[in-house]
């Protein structure tokens, strides 16, 4: 009887070991999504820490990666040559007028690109930054709009390359979860979020703008008085609507009424008059 009891006990131990192994296997299977979340959280923390520093802080775009995603991309040699299928950007040239730098899924920022940053509007708890001149111009635009009854809330300005990578990888994972192949998932993601190193946000020259009552970037921002004001006046401060509705073929990015790019007053005014997007104005894309 004692022997039988021991055998039962032994069987129970084996059974529970099996369950533990299965549980572990299941956990391994879900590691990808968890890892991406973890990366994102870490990056968020870093960014927050950075943005709460003083207005004159100079930040450097670092190129190291702490990626923990199961899929590629690892940094494959050059700073932004992440190994995403179908994404192989050349290094963007920095033009004489640095505010006309062209970055897209085909052109990545140079590895050592490090804009001097400045908080755009101090009135909000989250201290959103842009490149120093762009930030000053944003503040001037913000004040003018506010005087006209429109509140251009800074939602997302400068983003580190690491943060951009977290956003991009998360969207790829979402697309994979929806049943797309990895290559398809990357291609679809790149129509909505630019790959790391390829975003104007990492150059400090773009601002995603929102308004009171909105907690995110939304396409129906185009129906607001803030958007109407921007369309009429943003060029006076050097900003352009970077991804217009009818220019997808050229920009390769879907319509983003919230994303405004600083190019300087002269070029912005010329583009406003001609109706050209940045690709047309620069003769690229």
Minimum CB distance to Zn ion, residue 68 (Å)? 25
- The stretch near Zn ion (CB under 5 A) out of 15-23, 102-110, 160-168, 251-259 is 251-259
- The stretch near Zn ion (CB under 5 A) out of 8-16, 90-98, 119-127, 258-266 is 258-266
Catalytic residue among 126, 256, 270, 279: 256
Assess whether the previous peptide bond of 134 is cis (omega < 30° from 0): no
Question: Is residue 208 a contact point for Zn ion (CB under 5 A)?
Answer: yes
Question: Is residue 103 a contact point for Zn ion (CB under 5 A)?
Answer: no
Question: Which of residues 43 and 71 has its CB atom nearest to Zn ion in the complex?
Answer: 43
Chosen residue from 105, 118, 247, 259 binding Zn ion by CB under 5 A: 259
What distance in Å separates the CA atoms of residue 190 and residue 208, rounded to the nearest whole number?
17
Minimum CB distance to Zn ion, residue 260 (Å)? 8
Question: Is residue 151 a contact point for Zn ion (CB under 5 A)?
Answer: no
What distance in Å separates the CA atoms of residue 101 and residue 117, rounded to the nearest whole number?
17
What distance in Å separates the CA atoms of residue 227 and residue 218, rounded to the nearest whole number?
11
Q: Is 256 a catalytic residue?
A: yes
Question: Which of residues 142 and 176 has its CB atom nearest to Zn ion in the complex?
Answer: 142
Grouping H, G, I as helix, E, B as strand and the rest as coil, residue 117 is: strand
How many Cα atoms occupy the beta-carbon half-sphere of 28 within 13 Å? 6
Question: Which of residues 162 and 176 has its CB atom nearest to Zn ion in the complex?
Answer: 162
- The stretch near Zn ion (CB under 5 A) out of 118-126, 159-167, 254-262, 263-271 is 254-262
- The stretch near Zn ion (CB under 5 A) out of 45-53, 67-75, 88-96, 200-208 is 200-208
Question: Which of residues 182 and 214 has its CB atom nearest to Zn ion in the complex?
Answer: 214
Minimum CB distance to Zn ion, residue 25 (Å)? 40
CA dihedral sign, ordered 264, 269, 272, 276: negative
Nearest to 193 by CA among 247, 221, 156, 222: 156
Say what the alpha-carbon torsion angle 156, 160, 166, 168 is, to the nearest 10 degrees: 70
Nearest to 121 by CA among 100, 145, 101: 145
Residue 192 contacts residue 248 (beta carbons within 8 Å): no
State both tokens at 202. Answer: 């990492």
Minimum CB distance to Zn ion, residue 30 (Å)? 30
Q: Which residues are catalytic?
A: 256
Binding site residues, Zn ion, CB under 5 A: 208, 259
């Amino acid at each position: 009887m004692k022997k039988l009891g021991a055998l039962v006990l032994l069987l129970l131990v084996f059974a529970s070991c099996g369950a533990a192994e299965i549980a572990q296997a299941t956990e391994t299977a879900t590691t990808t999504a968890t890892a991406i979340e973890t990366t994102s959280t870490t990056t968020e923390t870093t960014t927050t820490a950075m943005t709460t520093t003083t207005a004159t802080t100079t930040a450097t775009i670092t190129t190291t990666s702490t990626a923990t995603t199961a899929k590629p991309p690892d940094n494959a040699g050059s700073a932004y040559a992440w190994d995403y299928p179908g994404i192989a950007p050349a290094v963007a040239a920095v033009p004489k007028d640095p505010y006309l730098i062209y970055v897209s899924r085909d052109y990545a920022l140079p590895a050592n690109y490090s804009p001097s940053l400045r908080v755009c509007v101090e009135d909000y708890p989250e201290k959103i930054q842009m490149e120093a001149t762009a930030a000053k111009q944003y503040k001037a635009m913000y004040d003018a709009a506010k005087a006209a009854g429109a509140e251009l809330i800074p939602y997302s300005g400068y983003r580190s390359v690491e943060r951009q990578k977290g956003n991009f990888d998360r969207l790829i994972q979402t697309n994979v979860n929806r049943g797309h192949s990895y290559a398809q998932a990357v291609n679809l993601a790149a129509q909505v979020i630019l790959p790391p190193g390829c975003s104007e946000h990492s150059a400090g020259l773009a601002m995603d703008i929102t308004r009171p009552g909105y907690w995110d970037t939304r396409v129906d921002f185009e129906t607001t008085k803030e958007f109407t004001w921007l369309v009429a006046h943003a060029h006076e401060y050097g900003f352009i609507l970077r991804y217009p509705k009818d220019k997808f073929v050229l920009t390769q990015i879907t319509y983003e009424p919230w994303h405004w790019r600083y190019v300087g007053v002269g070029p912005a005014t010329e583009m406003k008059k001609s109706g050209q997007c940045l690709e047309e104005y620069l003769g690229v894309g």
